[in-house]
Amino acid sequence: MKQKNTGWYLLFTAPLIIIFALVVLVPFVMGFYYSFFRWDGISANPMTFIGLSNYTALMGDEDFYTSAWLTIKFTIMAVVAVNVLGLGLALLVTSKLKTVNYARAMFFMPNLIGGLILGYIWQFIFSDAFRVLGENFGFESIFRNWLLDSSLAMYALVIVFTWQMAGYMMVIYIAGIQGIPGDTIEAAKIDGANSWQRLKSVIMPLLMPSFTICLFLTLSFSFKIYDVNLSLTDGGPVGSTELFALHIYNEIFGYSNYGYGQAKAVVFFLLIGAVTLTQVYITKKREVEM
């Protein structure tokens, strides 16, 4: 019987393991290998082994540090905005709102649209639509082309990412809220706790598993953002929104520095791994057992 079950396990898991290895593990190992070479990515041209030179060159690369700082700044703003809005929407649609199902569908819908399309839609809004609003209704200090202003383009990127991801996080927070026992909430009400006290002292601590998942997802998605960055700002104006994934892409395919770009990608992977694992470790310790 045990051998029969093992066969079924292999039948269903083996294809997934093979696909994961081919799509993720093999390219990662190859990328790590190429990071020790000077190469332009063209197979006809020779690869020159240079050891750790690509990694040591990163130490003096100002563009690398600039892109890393922009990515960190974007990630901090995006993680806060997405989770605050996602939790707020989850609390709203788990209340006694009459249009709950309609509201859930509307809030989740932006997540169904691809990042490239979202970027082009919002590019029109932040440029042409805002300009028309400013010309007709005033407030031109706000309603102007955000994508041409290096001080506002980053906020535009955060807004679009938040609009895309908040509905997705809302679903996870809804599952967490609905998993809280009703008698626990009722006991808090009987003890005289008002809405804010129930949220702060009962709901929020019991939502820690949801926070762990949502923070992990938003952190990793924010660090890796590429499609919205490409279609909305393409890193501009003057490189003020060139986040790390786009920066690596430009290094490899724009400047044909394949080995150097791969070294940046490896460092990028280590950075994401360290931050997300630390976050999971910290938030896991704060989870409450029911």
Mean pLDDT of 115-136: 89
Query: What pLDDT score does 112 carry?
Result: 87
- Outline where the chain has alpha helix (H): 2-20, 26-34, 53-58, 62-93, 100-108, 115-124, 130-137, 153-178, 182-190, 195-198, 204-206, 208-224, 227-232, 244-249, 258-285
* Mean pLDDT value across residues 226-242: 90
Average pLDDT, the chain: 89
The residue among 147, 91, 94 whose CA lies nearest residue 123 is 147
Instruction: Read off the pLDDT of each residue in 101-120 and give the average, rounded to a whole number.
Output: 87
Match 């269903």 to its residue by tokens: 12
pLDDT score at 105: 87
Q: How far is residue 277's CA from residue 229's CA, in Å, rounded to a whole number?
A: 25
Q: Read off the amino acid at residue 244.
A: F
Q: What distance in Å separates the CA atoms of residue 131 and residue 213, rounded to the nearest whole number? A: 39
Annotated domain spans of the chain: 61-285
Would you state the pLDDT for residue 76?
95
More confident position, 143 or 75 = 75
Cis-peptide, bond into residue 237, ω within 30° of zero: yes
The pTM of the whole model exceeds 0.95: no
Task: Identify the bridge partners of residue 159 per DSSP, sorted by sequence position.
Answer: none
C-alpha span between 103 and 101 (Å, rounded): 5
Query: Taking 90 as the threshold, does the pLDDT of residue 84 lie above it?
Result: yes
CATH number for 61-285: choose from 3.30.1490.100, 1.10.3720.10, 3.40.50.1240, 3.40.50.1460: 1.10.3720.10
What pLDDT does residue 217 have? 94
